[in-house]
Structure formats: structure tokens, C-alpha cells
Structure 1
Amino acid sequence: MKLSRRAFLKLSMALGATATSSGLLFQQAKNSLLSEVEAAANEEQLVTTAGGHNCGGRCLITAHVSDGAVTRITTDPLPDSPDEPALKACLRCRAYRNRMYHPDRLKYPMKRVGKRGEGKFEKISWEEAADIITDNITRIKEKYGPEAFYVPYATGHDGALAGADFMCRLLALNGGYLNYYNNYSNSCHTWGLKSIYGTEITANSREDYVNSKLIILWGHNPAETIFGTNTMYYLRLAKDRGAKIIVIDPRYSDTTIAFADQWIPIRPTTDNALMDAMAYVMITSNLYDQAFLDKYCLGFDEAHLPADAPPNSSYRSYVLGLGEEHTPKTPEWAEAITGIPASTILQLAREYAMTKPAAILAGYGPQRHAYGELISRGMAVLAAMTGNIGKSGGSAGAMGWPGYGRRPKFGGVGTDNPVKASIPTFLWTDAVLRGTEMTKADGLQGADRLTTNIKMIVNIAGNALVNQHSNINRTAEILRDESKVECIVVSENFMTASAKFADILLPCSMPLERNDVINTWAFGDYTIYMHKAVASLYGSRSDYEWITMVAERLGLKKEFTEGKSEEDWVRHVVDQIQKKNPGFPNYEEFKAKGIYRFTYPEKFIAFKEQIEDFDGHKFPTPSGKIEIFSPVLYAMNNPKEIPAIPQYVPAWEGPEDPLTEKYPLQCIGHHYRRRVHSTFDNVPWMEEVAKQEVWLNTKDAAKRGIKNGDKVKVFNDRGTMVIPARVTSCIMPGVISVPQGAWYTPDANGIDQRGCINVLTNHRATPLAHANPQHTNLVEMVKA
């Protein structure tokens, strides 16, 4: 019989007390106690919850609880059905118990005693922590004003009761804080799609995959990123129905292994060159839908350009070499850029043009580069040229947010922020260094200028403060300077790279230790009640608890809490969902069931209404059409970086950059099945699942005398890392890939020993979205 620790101790003490009794009395006592302990051990509670981090999935989890502890994790026990597949958890969710009971978990509040970034702290009480935080908020507000406060983008707690949202609520009640927009995931897609369609709601529902005859997974790896629970399930259904699946990716990913009929490796940042060459083949072979382009699109050819557009500025003219460059975008032209043989480009273009319906499903990786906004625009042109937009089994090109347009509307805990100024998420370090100099050209919205630089950061459940942000060495240097950011508060579970830069470090509860509600990540339509399974360990508290302590000291407790407990806030969120979504159950019903699935009478096909009734349903663009030529972008007068039509623009630190003479390898970072971004990096189970190692091609390894398993040094002008090498033919020559999310661990010389890709990445933002370009890096590698 397996005993809990408490039951074992109880049995041991009882048996010890009766050991001096007669044999009969001893045996009777032992039998009685064993029966009692066995019964207690069998009283297992099954608690329904979900993945609470920014994983691509929102999977159903069951925590098995005995004697106040989680003993194991299981997942949705229901069998799959075509209409309602089970929400099976991946390895990450199944490792929650290992993470929660990790010995390195933060146990009590601390304040910094060494230099910022050294990770030296001493224990303090919660009361002292709240006092220090309150004093800094009061001082900084009086000295600099509300725009000095910043709560960074963070998704370690991704439920409705996220601590960052509660902190923003308190700061808003106290005068305000600096806003941000965008994210680190798909901002280039968002801006690119809006420029061409007027919206980012451009994806067909996944149930429609089965109607495709051809699916191109362009930089899309749902086997590891998940990309919505059960995306692999729907791809499997499509495959079983006979769909051909082509994967375009520099790396032979798990998804490629699972589904690909063909793998086409491509040099990072060159995707638009491939698209342009595909368009060339379709135009010169008359394999495109001219009638569709004439009716629905602006600027494909000269006859459909805006009146003020210059001659030969259409997409067709550009592709055929009639524009300023006078370079036809032939497969041979693209081969030299992309590394893809011209014959393969010719085959791909013809197959995509001639197979009806066909879908391009794009991941987020390809658009995280210097000119990533052009990726989604180029894919939209291919979809328009083939008439696949608004069709079942087709796609609008790059996937924006999943359709439904009727998607569940979710509630929150926020309140209006008096400060309207907002910066791009990726440029928060610029707002620290030169916030008062930032303008609309830097992406500043809601104000012409900021009144102050960022002076206080409250980083809650996030590692993007250091680890997940580009150019770590630059970021760390900025944060070490206490004259810049004067106070940094971090709420965390572990001593992450970001936590080491805290002035006040607070231990936060984990997902299984609190009640919450969580919606789907992107694809899928259901909402899960995250039941509290066990009490918070050690001295950890929920963010709501300590923020309430600060609110009380600021004299804002009544306004902040509205008299609500955390449970009351969960009820508040559910009530909001119910009001916005007819048919959603009341709080008691939802809590008891644990999950609610939204159902719809039919599959969602993006832009179906526009295609079937164009006169009655225009596209939400200024012209009402698909804007292949964008008048808005043309008016920006930056044709080299933000062209009016989607086209290939050679990336800085791309394969055509002269810097390749010094740093000949392109470095990208792939998502890995063992982590949710940086979450789970310290869980031993996950290290067994997938080691932290850099992928490089056998040819590149041979040139450098590197063998599989060797420790190598990867470096550029921004930083250096040491990491084991995985020598493989599963990545194209000239490209290396580092699994993103490893915890930055520098030695005494500042050389990272864990393999954190962001010691190598660039902090230069993309031109339109002002987003992160973290797959645009040139490096060299040598044997360590």
C-alpha cells in the first residue's frame, strides 16, 4: 500500500506507542491503524483544472489529490469524436506536479542585498515587502508622474485573474501607468494582415481542414507549439481524407515527421522571395484567377491600381520585372536567395495553383524577422491569385486569429487607465533609455510624447524582462543601472534570469494553488474553470493577496477589491462571460462541470460573406477590397522597408548581408516540446524529454571539426553561449537553431552556459509593427 507522508508518520507514532503492549493488543492496534490509513489513502480527490501558462494549448488537466498533496496528473479521459475531440494534455501539463514541488521554488519574500542582477537577497516579511513597494509607488508618482510605471508583457499566469491585470488595476486607480500594445508572438502577422484585409480575423475553423486537397504548413509546427489544443488531430483528419501536406521550414520538425509528404527547407528571412517566384510561375503559366483578382483586389495589376499610384507599381509588374528593379522574379532568381532548387519552386507553384481547394497555414516563426510584416501580406496574395479566399478547404493565407468572429467573449478584472500613451511591447527598453524622445515614428500611440522615462517596473509571472527579450547583455546593462529604473518588483516561482534583477522578489502561488478561469489560447472554443487543488506552499501568496496589501497602504483597498475575495472575482468573470455569451451556464453550474464548450451551427470560413455577396459585404479596408497595393502604406513613403506591395526585402543579418563574411551562419530559435517559452526549463523530467542543444547541419559541423554532442561556442558581436551540438541532416546547411526559452546562465566572463538564444538576438524592431525580429541573427560557431 502506498502511504502519504502524514499517514506514514501517524502510523509510525501509533505503532511506537503500542510496541510495549502485549502481542495481541499490539496486533489489534496495528490492524486498526492500517485499516484507517488505507481508507485515508484511498480517499483521492480528482480536481479539474487546466494549463495556466501561455502554452499553445489549453488542455484539460485532472489533479489527483491525497492528503493535501497532488500525487499525479492525468488529462481528459473522454475518447475522441469528430465533433468533440478530447482535450488531451501534452508533456508540459503533465509535468505540473514536478514543477510545483521543485525544491528550488521561492519560499518567502526577499529584498536585494547585492548589486542588481547578482541574485543576492535576504528574507523579509510580506508586510515589509508591501511597505517598500508602497513607498516606491508613492515616491515615483510624486517625482515623475504615472507614465513612469510599467507592467511588462508576461504570460506565466495567463488566466482571467492574472496578477499583471490586478497590478494594472491598482495603478490605474492610483493615477495610471504606461500602456503597451503588441506581443512577442505574432505582431508582424497582425499588422500585415490588417494592412491587406483590414482585420486579423482571417483563419478558417480547424474543422474545415478536412476539406483541403493540399495544405502547406509554412513555418508551422503544431506538434511542438500545439497552436490550439487538437490542431494535430484536425491535421490528421485532413491527412486521412487524402490531403497532401507540404512543410516549408528550415528544420525538419516533429510536425514534418508526423505529416509531411514533402519537406522544403528554406533560408530564414527569404520567404517572400519564394512567394514572389511562385507568383511568377503562376502568372507566366496562366495559372491564376484573374476574375477573382479583378473583382476583389486592389493593385494586383496596372488596371486595378489606385489613381495616384505610380506606373508599374502593381504586384504583377514587380514580379515580371517591369518595375524599378527590372528583375523578373523567376524560380532561378529565388533559388539563389532561398536555397530552394528552382525545379522545386516550379513544382510547388504549379501544385498550389492547380490543386483546389488548397490552404496555406502559417506559424508565427517566419514573421519574427527583420521585415516580418511582409510574410503575411505575401501569403495573402498567393491565396488571392488562386481564389482560395472565402472557400471551404482554402485559406486567406497567413493565419490571423481564428475565425468564428463569434469567438467566446471573455471577462476580466481591469479598469480604465487614465494614461492613454502606449508603446510597442518590444520597445520597453527604449522607453527606459529615451522614453521622452519617443514619437509616433517609434510606434508611440495615444500621445505625441511621453512625460518621463520608465522608472518603476512591476514584473509579474514573466521572464521577458530579461530572458525572453532580445539582446540580453544590452538589457541586463540597462537594468543594472539603478539611476534608470529605480525600482523593480518581481513576482515569480523560481529564481529566473529576470528574478535576479528584482529589488523586491515575491513568491507567487502556482496554477494548481488557486481558482481561476481560462479561455482557449487561440484555436478552439471552450472555457475551463481552474479549480484550486491544494493550498499554496511555503510562504507563497497569490498576486491578488499582496497587491491588496499595497492597495490598502495606498488608501485604495475599497476601490481595488470592491469588497471581493478571489473567489468573488472568479464569479465576476464568469458573470461577464455569461452576459456576453448567451447559453453560458451560471457560476455554480460552470464550476461544478469545470468546462463549457461553445458550439456553432456551421464551420467558420473567413471572408465567406465578402466572396458570396461582395456588394453587401465589403472587406474592412479603406477601399473595401483586398489591398494588395496598400494606399496607407504607400503614404508612409518608406518603400525600401514598408513597400506598398508585398515583396522580398533582403533582411539585415539575412543571407545577403555582407556581415556573413564574419558570421556565416543564420541562427533561429525554435519552440520546443519541453518548455512553454521559458517555463519548465528547470524541470528534470523535461530535460530527459529534450535536451538543450543547438541543431546544425552535418556539412557545417564537418567544416568546423564538430561532432555530435561536442560543446560548442556560438557567438556574434552581442554575446556568446556554450551549448552541446546536435549534428543532424534535419536542418538545412548554413542555418543553426537554438531551442528558445533556456534560462540565461552567465559565467564570470558573461558567457552563457545554458544556451539562451537571446544573448545573440537583435533589439532592432521591425519597421511597421515595431515588433521583435528574433529569427534575424548572424553568428559563428566553434568547438568550445
Structure 2
Amino acid sequence: MKSNDKCDNAPKITRRDFVKVSSMVAALPLVGFKFSHAAGKSSVTPSPLATPVVSVVPTCSTFDCGGKCDIRAHVQDGAVIQITTLPDAELDPAMPVMRACVRGRSYRKFVYHPDRLKYPMKRVGKRGEGKFVRISWDEATTLIADNLQRITDKYGPASRYVHVGTAVSGGTFSGDTMARRLLNLTGGHLSYYHSVSMGNTAAATPYTYGVAASGNSLDTLTDTPLVILWGHNPTETIFGHTNHYFQQMKQNGTRFIVVDPRYSDTASSLADEWIPLRPSTDNALMDAMMYVIITENLHDKTFIERYTLGFDESSMPEGVPANESLVAYLTGAKDGVKKTPEWAEVITHVPAQTIRQLARDYAMTKPAALIQGWGPQRHNCGERTARGSTLLATITGNVGIKGGWAGGYGGIGNRKFTTGPEMPDNPVKQKISVMNWVQAADDASQVRPQDGLTGGEKLDSNIRMLFSLAGNYLANQNPDIHQAVKVLEDESKIEFIVASDLYLTPSARYVDLLLPETSFMERWNIGETWGTGNYLMLSEKLIEPPFESRSDYDWLREVAAKLGIEQEFSQGRTEKEWIAHIWENTRRAMPDEKLPTFEELQVTRRHLFKSAPFVAFEDNIRDPKNHPFQTPSGKIEIFSRRLYDMHHPEIPALSHYVPAHEGPEDPLAKEYPLQLITWKGKNRASSTQYTNPWLQEVQTQKLWINPADAERRGIVQGDSVRIHNNRGVTQIPAEVTQRIMPGVVAMQAGAWWQPDASGVDYGGCANVLSSARITALAKGNSHQTMLVEVVKA
């Protein structure tokens, strides 16, 4: 998309800044540099062949990635001319900092791109047409302040909503956070709960363990003889720390089994065995594994007797009818169906003997780690799948021990974060699931407690004003794009939408005011890991923002001034002063960690938390009397009375197999016989960096289809194919490959939606096909569960 498509009345734009940088790169010899480190920055002593002076600054992005890449920005004359990464000499085996992946090494092309937004712009056409005119920043902030006042006076503060914006969620300081601060200072806003990434797991695992975090630090797996990666794909999602440890373990003899419908790059690089299964049937495979383990007497009886509730009839809570225990369910005492491998083979398409061997391998290898990724829980059966892995870990005694894993990967429990900016109390107490925002904008009366509303029986208002800051969720990542766009296009619903971004994304086309944001290289922040790393890294302002780009905090401060609360909002701090303030607050909150001062951080650049190896629930297992589990019984609850009392067929107390909506057993499969899944690719973080031409060369958007399914449809390699269901159509080339199992097709997530006049998408955006159905327990996303048909275009 050309930059002149973005603004009808914009004058011809000079690209001098971009051309200057390009000419620097072309003219600069990138050889003969000698690196030395002083004051936290690497200086470059030029060789006789290279005369320019270049500063090499260790920094990191603040994107929603698995870790904070250590990238080395080579800065010359106010421009970043090259990016390298952490040198081998600086690697710390005790805590490997994430080295830049292909995305990290391409950041310069992302920052210096001619299609970057340059000026504030106001919509002049219909929402979705992408027609804007250039306005001044004073006009822009006046529009925001006036609409905030008008909409609040008319509908109340609950009509204001700040959407999720993941392109900045890897940092401690972000525009969406400060927008919420501004709204809370002026009466509050409708807020949301739930993580699109792993909210179903976070909601489900406490019913087993009492808390959500159930992962260990990876240094506890050094001597683990067996790791089962269940829908976990770190090689492509680029969790650098994970790959560091897994590759070491592989070299030391650890056996890896990958359970996944797709032969991912993780399976290619690590797996001794690949076990493909049909999406949404994970619990059937887990049930059959538990049947084998128990009937072959391979379960850990001592562990089960001491630490658990609900394994057999003798360990059930009072008042529950007979035959509700795990053993009773598996042996068919209630329904007459034994959950044998042969039973599961029909459902999962995993051969019965493979299931038997997998169960035996897991139960007889001590210890063993079954690590589940976040993909399997993004189904409408995802809560059951997450809890199912906790039951397997429990009956084999792999909970709370070094080398084991408690299942239900809900995060690593020993990571450290900054305190973040202070947030005033939000007077609006109602909260919606992040999945409810379309309904809350369309008809607030349809969002009830049974639909995900908390903090009240009803919403006080529809969403009338919406901020989307550094996010592409509105009309790209949102499940069922067509449903969302229908609401966005209706200007009688949401009356004013503000977005800030670096590019005219599909979501940005549906806003009323579009603001040019700064990149991470043009502002101050602190990078926080959310993968398996445990460190904080300074993300320093390296260059000045191009054209009229401003950070969200900068213009929010101007809006606050026009509302008469600038001092209260900003506390008189610049962006850098906020970062220094947050860092000093964090130092005081962690006195034992001995964090450097902010001045020292600007020298050291990062702080590693060299904590002892962490094993989830180790204290609970070592000393259950003084450290009971945080469940009602104080034990690991294989059977959850809390779930049982919900009397919901999709929330079984044992988290066993229940056929999923739009799963392979749904009658809809007769019309749409293929299950579509998506994966997170190595060339972008969700949809971020989609337009980066370097990364488009890394991986192109194609539909993976098995040769058997392709032949049945007359499809050959490279054919353009139409993937469709009753929600939408997308058309992209076919990749005919044995790397996807029969009956399943796959495409990379995060492609930008590119519809033609008839609504057919040519970008390969899976969200035109996905569903907005929410999960039963968490009220979370289930967009991975979708049935489709594929035809040759």
C-alpha cells in the first residue's frame, strides 16, 4: 500500500530522512570496526577504511514477543544504520539473554519504511474506506478532548474503552496504560480482563492447583530424560531462552516427543517422534493415556494418595454421587465406555499402539515433563485441554519435582517485573472479557454475567468511545472480522475511535482519528520478558521521531492539559523521567535484588535476576502441611467440586473429552470437512511487521494441505485456493505437504486482511474464517476451532 493512499489532501512528502539513511548504509563500509564498551555504549574505532564514528547501543524492542531481544543498534549522525545482536563473548550461560531473531534483525527496515504514518489525520470518508485528511496536532488533541468531554457527559464514563494493544505490551510504559490513567482521572472507563494469548489456561489451572502459574524455570530440566511438547512450538515463536535450553538438552540426550497436527519447525529441529492428532481432540488422547497408565499400574500411588483429591471413589469429596472419580470415568463405570486407546484412535486418529507407547514412555520415565503450548487452549475446548495436562502430570507424580512439569503451562512463577506507572482507581467496576467488546459496542444489554460480565449485573452504557493504541485487533486479529467490522462501520454505535500506529493497518482504516506513533527506537522504555527469561532491559530513545510522529504519552499529556488535569496526569514528568521513576520504585520494591540505580542502568543496560532454579509447587510437595495447595481442599484437585457444582456439560469436573463445537464430530463437518488451525510464524509477532519486505521474504502466506486432501480436490502445489466457511472466504496459494496431517489445513496467523469489493480476502487472514464463540469457563477466545472447505480457485 503506497503512502499516498493514506491522505487525500496531503502535500507531496519528502523522503529525505529515509533517503539519507539509505545512502549512509550504501556508502558505509561495514568492515573494519573495532568494538569497545564504555558507559554502556559500544564505541567503534574505525579502521583506515572506515571514517564515520558509530555508537553501538544495546537495546530491545517492546513488541509482544516471547522475550526481549538484545539488539545492538549502530547509530551514526542520528540514524540507525545497522542492527547486530549480543556477541558470543557476552553470553551468560546462567541466564541467556535472548539474541535477536530474524524479526529483531529486521527492525531497521520496519522503522525506516516509506509507508510509515507521518502526520495526524482525520477521517473524511466512510469508516473502512481509508480516506483521511491531514490535520495539526492541536486539532487532533482538541478533537480527543472535546469528544471525551461530550461522550462522558452524555453516556457516562463506562462508555469509554481502551482496546488491547500488543505492539507495546513488552514494555513497562505504554500508551494504552497511560490512556487508562487519563480516563481513570476523569471518571473511569470500561475495562476488560482475560489474555487472548493464554487466558483459558490461566482460568482453568487454578481448579487443579489453586493458582495459574504452573511452569518451572527451564534450568530445572537440564537432566530430564523425556520432554513432551504438546502443541508447543518455540522454534518458530522464537522464545530464545527456551531454544537455548532445549538445544542443550537435546545434545545431552533428552528425548523429545512433539504432539501437534503440524510438523512444525520445532518438530523438525527437536523431535525424536512426531505424533499428529486432530485439533480439539487432545483430551481424548489424554484420557486414553491415563487409562493405560492406571490399568497397567504405572501411576504413582504414593503421590496420588498423599497429595490429591478425586482419583478414585475412596478419595472423593462428600456429597458427590458414585462413579464421578477419575478411575470411574476412565473405566466406564458411569457411561459404560472404557477410555481405551482404541476408543481414542477413532476420535484423534492417533494409532492405538502409539497412544499406549506414549503413555508408557511418560509414566515410566522419571522424571518427565509434559509442556503444553498456548495453541491448544485457544480452542473452545481449551480449558479442558489445559486441565487435562495437569491431571496427567499429577497421576505420574511429575508435579513439584525437578525435571518434571505440572502441565497447563500458565507462565513461569519466578519472573520479575517493574512496578509500572501508578494507576488511579477506576470508578467503573464492571469488566468485560476481551471477547465481549463487539457486543458491548453493539448492544450492551447482551453482555450479562453469563456472557462474561463481572462487577455488576449489567453495563451502564454501550461503548461509545474507543482507543486502539498500538493494536491491530479491531479489524484484523479479532475473531470473526466481518461481525466486528459491521459494528465498526455503524457510526451510530461507537461515536469516536482514536488509533495510533506506525502504519495504516486494516484496523486503522476504521477509525476517526489516526495518529502517527513512534517506534521503540524513538522513545524511552524498559523491556520486560514474558517468556522464560528473567531480566529487565533498558530500551533507550536512540533517534528522533520522523516527520510529526509523537509518542502516545506526549499527545495524551496535551489532551490532559486541555481537560485541565495535566499536572495530575503527568506529575510533571517527561517520558524519560517516568521511566526513571518506575525504575526507582521497582528498586525499592525489590530491596533484596540490588537493582542498579537508573543512572547505573544506563551503563549496564540490563539487570539479570539470577535466582535459584524454580520448580512450581515444590514447597507444596515438600511440606504439604505448612504449604497446602490453594484449593478448597488444600490438595491437587483431580476432581473439582467447584466445577462439578456448575452443572455445565462443557465444564466437566474431571476435564475429560467432550466433542468441541466445530470439531471433527460436529455435524457441520459434513459441509466443511477440514479443520483449520493457525500458527505463530517466525517472521512477525502476530500481525506486527507484516509489511516488512525483508520478513515477507522469510515466509510467504500459504495454506498447508496434505497431499491426500489436495488430490481429492484437484489441487497441486502453488495453486490458488479458496478457503471458506459460512463466515468468510480467503484466497491464497496452496502448499501441498506431508507436514500437515490429513483432514487438517493450516496457515500462519497475523496476515493483514485484504478484501476485494465482494469481501473475498486475498491476504490470507484466517480471522475472516474464525469464530467469536467464547469458552464456557473463562469466557475466552476459541478462534482456533473452525471448520472450512478448500477448493481450487
TM-aligned CA distance change 1:414 to 1:62, over 3 Å: farther
TM-aligned CA distance change 1:42 to 1:5, over 3 Å: farther
Note if 1:436 corresponds to 2:445.
yes
Measure how far apart 1:211 and its partner are.
2.2
Most deviating of 658-667 and 74-83: 74-83
Residue-by-residue CA offset, 1:312-352 (whole Å, 9 max, x unaligned): 011111111112x2211000110010110001001000110
Contact 2:439 / 2:446 at 8 angstroms: preserved in 1?
Answer: no
Note if 1:517 corresponds to 2:517.
no
Q: Match for 2:474 among 455, 462, 465?
A: 465
C-alpha separation in 2, matches of 1:209 and 1:37? 45
Measure how far apart 1:366 and its partner are.
0.5
What residue in structure 2 maps to residue 615 of structure 1? 625
Measure how far apart 1:420 and its partner are.
1.5
Most deviating of 122-131 and 573-582: 573-582
- SS of residue matched to 1:517: strand
Q: Match for 1:775 among 757, 778, 784?
A: 784
Q: Match for 1:184 among 176, 191, 196?
A: 196
Note if 1:754 corresponds to 2:763.
yes
Contact 2:640 / 2:653 at 8 angstroms: preserved in 1?
Answer: yes
What residue in structure 2 maps to residue 763 of structure 1? 772
What residue in structure 2 maps to residue 487 of structure 1? 496
Q: Match for 1:720 among 713, 725, 729?
A: 729
Contact 1:161 / 1:413 at 8 angstroms: preserved in 2?
Answer: no
- SS of residue matched to 1:203: coil
What residue in structure 1 maps to residue 291 of structure 2? 280
Note if 1:163 corresponds to 2:175.
yes
C-alpha separation in 1, matches of 2:449 and 2:111? 44
The amino acid of 2:566's aligned partner reads: K
C-alpha separation in 2, matches of 1:9 and 1:215? 50
What residue in structure 2 maps to residue 687 of structure 1? 696
Contact 1:431 / 1:438 at 8 angstroms: preserved in 2?
Answer: yes
What residue in structure 2 maps to residue 154 of structure 1? 165
Residue-by-residue CA offset, 1:574-620 (whole Å, 9 max, x unaligned): 012111222111110012211110112x2111111111111111001
Q: Match for 1:334 among 344, 347, 369?
A: 344
C-alpha separation in 2, matches of 1:705 and 1:117? 36
Measure how far apart 1:40 and its partner are.
9.5
The amino acid of 1:208's aligned partner reads: T
C-alpha separation in 1, matches of 2:604 and 2:778? 41
Number of aligned residue pairs: give it. Answer: 752
Contact 2:436 / 2:447 at 8 angstroms: preserved in 1?
Answer: no
- SS of residue matched to 2:477: coil
What residue in structure 1 maps to residue 187 of structure 2? 175
C-alpha separation in 1, matches of 2:161 and 2:118? 26
C-alpha separation in 1, matches of 2:632 and 2:706? 47
Note if 1:103 corresponds to 2:114.
yes
What residue in structure 1 maps to residue 211 of structure 2? 199
Note if 1:420 corresponds to 2:414.
no
Measure how far apart 1:408 and its partner are.
4.0
- Pairs within 5 Å for 1:560-575: 560-575=569-584
Measure how far apart 1:115 and its partner are.
0.5
What residue in structure 2 maps to residue 234 of structure 1? 245
Contact 1:161 / 1:517 at 8 angstroms: preserved in 2?
Answer: yes
TM-aligned CA distance change 1:110 to 1:392, over 3 Å: same
Measure how far apart 1:38 and its partner are.
9.2
C-alpha separation in 1, matches of 2:88 and 2:548? 37
- SS of residue matched to 2:739: coil
Note if 1:130 corresponds to 2:130.
no
C-alpha separation in 2, matches of 1:4 and 1:235? 40
C-alpha separation in 2, matches of 1:389 and 1:44? 51
- SS of residue matched to 2:730: strand
Measure how far apart 1:176 and its partner are.
0.4
TM-score normalized with structure 1 length: 0.94
Measure how far apart 1:85 and its partner are.
2.6
What residue in structure 2 maps to residue 211 of structure 1? 223
- Pairs within 5 Å for 1:509-548: 509-548=518-557
Gapped regions of structure 2 (runs ≥ 5): 1-16, 25-45
- Pairs within 5 Å for 1:301-380: 301-323=312-334, 325-380=335-390
TM-aligned CA distance change 1:479 to 1:217, over 3 Å: same
What residue in structure 2 maps to residue 392 of structure 1? 402
The amino acid of 1:412's aligned partner reads: P
TM-aligned CA distance change 1:537 to 1:313, over 3 Å: same
What residue in structure 2 maps to residue 23 of structure 1? none
C-alpha separation in 2, matches of 1:267 and 1:694? 17
Q: Percent identity?
A: 47
- SS of residue matched to 1:656: coil
- SS of residue matched to 2:178: helix
Residue-by-residue CA offset, 1:418-447 (whole Å, 9 max, x unaligned): 212111112111211232342221121122
What residue in structure 1 maps to residue 59 of structure 2? 49
Q: Match for 2:590 among 578, 581, 584?
A: 581
Most deviating of 77-86 and 272-281: 77-86
Measure how far apart 1:307 and its partner are.
0.4
Contact 1:487 / 1:503 at 8 angstroms: preserved in 2?
Answer: yes
C-alpha separation in 2, matches of 1:305 and 1:84? 43
TM-score normalized with structure 2 length: 0.93
TM-aligned CA distance change 1:76 to 1:410, over 3 Å: farther
The amino acid of 1:289's aligned partner reads: D
What residue in structure 2 maps to residue 735 of structure 1? 744
What residue in structure 2 maps to residue 220 of structure 1? 232
Contact 1:216 / 1:361 at 8 angstroms: preserved in 2?
Answer: yes
Residue-by-residue CA offset, 1:658-685 (whole Å, 9 max, x unaligned): 1111000000111001110000110111
- SS of residue matched to 2:526: strand
C-alpha separation in 2, matches of 1:558 and 1:410? 21
CA RMSD between the two structures: 1.8
Contact 1:56 / 1:522 at 8 angstroms: preserved in 2?
Answer: yes
C-alpha separation in 1, matches of 2:703 and 2:423? 41
Residue-by-residue CA offset, 1:215-247 (whole Å, 9 max, x unaligned): 0000000001124x3110101121122111000
C-alpha separation in 1, matches of 2:178 and 2:365? 50
Residue-by-residue CA offset, 1:109-143 (whole Å, 9 max, x unaligned): 10111111111111111111111111111111011
C-alpha separation in 2, matches of 1:711 and 1:762? 24
C-alpha separation in 2, matches of 1:82 and 1:560? 43
- SS of residue matched to 2:704: strand
C-alpha separation in 2, matches of 1:93 and 1:649? 41
C-alpha separation in 2, matches of 1:194 and 1:775? 23
The amino acid of 1:457's aligned partner reads: L
Give the structure with higher Rg (CA): 1
The amino acid of 1:662's aligned partner reads: E
Residue-by-residue CA offset, 1:458-504 (whole Å, 9 max, x unaligned): 10000111111100011111110011111110111101011000100
TM-aligned CA distance change 1:7 to 1:295, over 3 Å: closer
What residue in structure 2 maps to residue 551 of structure 1? 560
What residue in structure 2 maps to residue 264 of structure 1? 275
Residue-by-residue CA offset, 1:265-302 (whole Å, 9 max, x unaligned): 01000000000000010111111012211111111111
The amino acid of 1:205's aligned partner reads: S
Contact 1:4 / 1:41 at 8 angstroms: preserved in 2?
Answer: no
Note if 1:116 corresponds to 2:127.
yes
The amino acid of 1:350's aligned partner reads: R
C-alpha separation in 2, matches of 1:65 and 1:392? 44
Note if 1:475 corresponds to 2:461.
no
